[in-house]
Structure 1
Amino acid sequence: MSHLFPTYSKWELEPESAKGSYLYCKDGGVYLDFTSGIGVCNLGHCHPEVKESVEQQLNKFWHISNLFPIDLQEKTAEILTNASGLDLVFFANSGAEANEAAIKLARKATGKTKILTFHQSFHGRTFATMSATGQDKIKQGYGPMLDKFEYVPFNDLQALEQQLTEEVAAVMLEVVQGEGGIYVASKEFLQGVEVLCKEKGALLLIDEIQTGIGRTGKAFAFQHFGIKPDIISVAKGMANGIPTGAIVADGRLKEFFGPGSHGTTFGGNPIAMAAATKTMEIIFQPTFLEEVQTKSEWIFSLLKQKLSGNQLVKDIRGLGLMIGIELDMPVVSILEELRKEGLIVLNAGEKVIRLLPSLNTPKEDIERAIAILEKNLNIHAKLTI
C-alpha cells in the first residue's frame, strides 16, 4: 500500500539510475528518455559538470537563509540577466512560485489587479497560477478561483485588443503553449501584444518555465521574436533537476519588491544555485544554442519525412526541441506501447505526443527514437484502415 496521495497516474517503470538520455529501471529495462523530467534535465541525467558543481557546494554549506549575502545567487542572477537582457532576479523554488512572484510584482507595480491570460495556457497549480491557467480541467473541485483573471483566444490579436483596457495590470503568456498542445505564438501576435501592453500601461509577463534555458534554441523563447518582456519566469531547465525557479524583471520594477515585500525560505538555495550556474554556463554558450537550432531543424525534417504519409498524423509542430505530434486519436495507449519499446515520451493534451529530449541528445539516440515512433504509428495507422 502506498502512503502517497494518488495525484499522479504512475507509470509501470521504476528507475534505479539514469545517465545522459537513458533511464535504467529495476526490472532491468533500459529506456530512452525523451521527457527530460518534463523539460527539466536539459543536459541529460547526472551531467558530470553539474554534479561536480553541486558536490563542491555540498562540502561548503547547504542552507543559511536569505538573510546572508550569497555569492552564488549573485553569480546566477548575473547569468540570467545577461542572457535575458533584463536587470533583476528573485529566486523561488519552482515554476508555480516564480509565476506567483510575477503576478504579485505586476499587480503591485501597476496598482491594478486584472490580468489577461490565454485559453489552453498553463501556469501552475497554486490558487493564483490555477486562476491564471486557461484550462478548466485543473480547477475542478476547488471552488471559486481568484478573480481578476480573464482569458483570451491564443494567437488572436484582435480578441486581445478588445479586452486589453487601461484597467489591465499585465498580459501573461507562453511563447509555446506546452501543456496546451505545443502551440507556437506567431511573431505578428507577440509583437502586437508588446505594442498593446505599452499603449495601455500593462506589463508583459512571459512564462518561460518550459520554453526557457535553451529549450527552443535561444536562451529564452521570446528572443526568437524581437520582443522584450517586462518580467519572465523560469524554472524547469534552470538547474538540470535540482529544484529552483526565478523571475527576471526590468530594473524599473526594483522599488516594488523591496525589503519585506516578498520572500522565500528556500529560494536561491546554495545547492540549487551551484547546479543552476553550471547548467546555464554550458547551455548559454552560443555554439551550444546554435547546435540546438541545427538539431531542431534536422529533427523536424526527419519527423516529417518519416511520418508525413501516416494518416493518423495531423500535424507536427513546435520550436527548438519542444515538439508536438498531433494525432487523430488519443495518445495514452500509444505512450504505453512506446515505453514497452524502450522509448519514454509525454502527451500534451489528449491527442498530442510531446517530445522533450535533452538538448545534448546524440544524433543516434534521436534516430532510434524516431524509428520507434514511426514503427508504432504505422502499426496503428494500419489498424484503423
Structure 2
Amino acid sequence: MSFSIAELFSQNFDRKFDLHEQYLNHQMVRVLRTIGFDRNYKKAIGQYLYDQDNNEYLDLLSGFGVFAIGRNHPTVISALQETLTLELPNLVQMDVSLLSGLLAKEILATTPENLDKMFFCNSGTEAVEAAIKFARYTTKRSGIVYCDHGFHGLTMGSLSMNGEEIFREGFGPLLPDCISIPFNDLSALEQALSSKQIAAFIVEPIQGKGVNLPDDDYLSGVESLCRKYGTLFVADEIQCGIGRTGKFWAIDHWNVKPDMILMAKALSGGFIPVGGVAMTTKIMESVFNRMDRAVVHGSTFSKNNMAMAAGLATLEVLRNENLIENSAKIGTDIISTLNNSANQYEFLKEARGKGLMIAIEFQSPKSLSLKAAWAMLEAANKGLFCQMITIPLFKEHRILSQVAGHGMNVVKLLPPLNLTEKDRNWIINSLDKTIADTHQVTGSIWTLGKNLAGHALKNRK
C-alpha cells in the first residue's frame, strides 16, 4: 500500500488534541479547551476555515499574518507543484540558485532605492538574528536599541530585544548591550544613540503587540537620528510588511529609508517558510568583504527552490488581485465604521491601524454598574475583558480573532488581504452585537466574564 497523507489525516482526524496532549505542548490544548476554541478543522480556503460539520469560520488571524493572500491559494499551489516536477537542482551548496536571484530582484523593486541587496533565511526571527550580526560587523559596535512592547522573535538574539517580559522571563542571561526605550519617543532614542556605541535601532514601523502607530514625524526623526550618530536604522516589517497596511511596506506611509528591512510571514504564501533582509550594498559588502568570508553567515535551507517559488508566486498574486489596494480600502472602512459607533458604547475606546492591521481598544466605562464589572475582571487578570469579545465572536459568530498582547485591553484583527464586502459586514455586525452584549451586565456574556475571572484567580494561586 502506498504512503498517503490523505489517509493518515482521515484516519486520525479526531485524535489531534489527544496527540498534542501526549506528545506536544499540552498547555496549549488546555488553553483551547478552556476558551472553547477546540475545533477540528478539515478544510481551509482563502479567508475561511471549515470544521467537520462544514461550518464556515472567518479567519481574522491568518496564521499571525502568514496567509496574507489567503489559505491554499491556487497560484502558489500551482507554482509549488510545478517546481516539484521540474527536477531542478536544489541547495547545491557550491553554487548559486536562479530562483533566489529572481525573487531578490522582485523584492528590491518594491523597496526604497537605497536598498539593493538581499539575504534570504527561513523565518522572521532568523532575519532579526542576521540583522544583529550584520549591524555589529558593519559598524564595529555592539549596542542594539529596541522599543518597549516590541516583538522581534523568540530565538536568543531576537528575544534579547523582545519588549514583553513574559517571553523573556527565565531564559536569561540574554545578549548584553541591548537597550529598551519607549516607542514613539525621539528624545529617548537620541539619548540612547548619543553614546555612539549603538550598532542598530531595530523597530517595527507599526508595533504588532497592540497595533501601536507612530506619530507622523517619528520614523523620519528616527532616520535622522540614526544618520547623525552612525547607527543603522532597521525596519522590522515581518508582520506589517508586504501589503498588510495598505502599502507594500509600512514605512511607505512615512517615506523613510531604513538601512535594512526585515521580512518573512506573508512572503511564504503560507506554505514554505521564508524570510529575508533587504539592505544597502555597504552592509552586504562589509560583512561579505572577502572570498574567504563568502559563507560567514547563512542557513542550510535558505534560498531553497520551494521557498523561492512560493515567494515569487505570492508577489504575483498581490499584484494581479490588487490585494494591497483592497487592504487599504476594506481596512479603512472597518476602522472608520467602528470609530463612528464608539459613542454608542462606553467600553469601546477606539479602533486604529492601517490597512488590515487593526486594533480595537476597550476602556473602563463611566457608568457605575459597568465600571464595577470592568474592575472585577481587571482585578482577576488585566486585559481579561477582551476575552469577553473574542470568545463570543468565535462561538456565536464564527470569527477567529485574538487579544493583541499580554495584559492589553485590545483585540487585534490581522486577516487575509482578500476580504470582501460580505466579510466586512460579517465583521462589523458581529462586533456590534458582541460589544452591545457586554453592556448588559445581567446578560449571559457576563456569566462568561465571571467564569473567566474565576479561572484567572485559580491559576494565580
TM-score, normalising length from structure 2?
0.80
Residues 107, 373 of structure 1: CA spacing in aligned structure 2 closer, same or farther, 3 A cutoff? same
Distance in 2 (alpha carbons) for counterparts of 1:61 and 1:315: 53
Aligned residue in 2 for 1:209: 238
Aligned counterparts, 1:157-176, within 5 A:
157-165=186-194, 166-176=196-206
1:286–1:162: structure 2 CA closer, same or farther, 3 Å change rule? farther
Partner residue of 1:370?
428
Q: Match of 2:245, SS? A: coil
Superposition deviation, residue 292 in structure 1: 2.4
Displacement of 1:27 after TM fit?
4.7
2:20 matches 1:3: no
CA contact (8 A) 2:128 2:262 kept: yes
Provide the rounded CA distance (Å) in 2 between the counterparts of 1:7 and 1:57. Answer: 38
C-alpha distance 7-261 of structure 1, shift in aligned 2 (>3 A): farther
Question: Is this contact kept in 1: 2:91–2:303, CA < 8 A?
Answer: no
User: Counterpart in 2 of 1:336?
Assistant: 391
Match among 274, 293, 303 for residue 338 of structure 2: 303
Per-residue deviation at 1:141? 1.4
Mapping of residues 222-237 of structure 1, within 5 Å: 222-237=251-266
Deviation at 1:333, TM superposition (A): 3.8
Preserved CA contact (<8 Å) 2:50 2:57: yes
Please show how residues 173-252 of structure 1 align to structure 2 within 5 Å.
Answer: 173-179=203-209, 181-242=210-271, 243-252=273-282
Q: CA deviation at 1:175?
A: 0.7
In the superposition, relative to structure 1, how do residues 384 and 192 fare at CA in structure 2: closer, same or farther (>3 Å)? farther
**Cα offsets for 1:88-135 (capped at 9, x unmatched):** 111111100011111110011100010110011000000110101111
- Out of 116, 128, 150, the residue aligned to residue 121 of structure 1 is 150
Unmatched tracts of structure 1, length 5 or more: none
**How do 1:1-385 residues align onto structure 2 when only pairs under 5 Å count?**
1-6=21-26, 8=28, 9-10=31-32, 11-61=37-87, 63-85=90-112, 86-165=115-194, 166-179=196-209, 181-242=210-271, 243-258=273-288, 259-284=294-319, 287-328=322-363, 330=384, 331-340=386-395, 341-349=397-405, 350-383=408-441
Distance change (3 Å), C-alpha of 1:362 and 1:104? same
- Given residue 22 of structure 2, which amino acid in structure 1 is its aligned partner? S
Partner of 2:456: none
1:383–1:61 Cα change, 3 Å: farther
Segments of structure 2 that go 5 or more residues without pairing to the other structure are 1-20, 289-293, 364-382, 444-461
Offset, 1:281: 2.3
SS at match of 1:382: coil
CA shift, 1:308, in A, is 4.0
Q: Percent same amino acid among aligned pairs?
A: 35
Q: Compute the TM-score of the two structures, normalised by the length of structure 1.
A: 0.95
CA distance in 1 between partners of 2:230 and 2:244 (Å) = 30
Instruction: Tell me, in whole angstroms, the C-alpha distance in 2 between the residues paired with 1:249 and 1:61.
Output: 32
- How far, CA to CA, are the matches of 1:307 and 1:58 in structure 2? 51
Greater displacement, 158-167 / 192-201: 158-167
**CA contact 2:234–2:258 (8 Å) conserved in 1:** yes
Q: Which amino acid aligns with 1:248?
A: A
Measured in 2, the distance between the counterparts of 1:384 and 1:357 equals: 32
Give the total of aligned pairs.
384
Secondary structure of the structure 2 residue equivalent to 1:324? strand
**1-side partners of 2:199 and 2:124: how far apart?**
21
Q: Deviations over 1:159-218 (max 9, x none)?
A: 111111211111110011102x11011221111110000010000001000001100111
Give the superposition deviation at 1:47.
1.1
Amino acid at match of 1:178: G
- SS at structure 1 position matched to 2:200: strand
Q: Which has the higher helix share?
A: 2
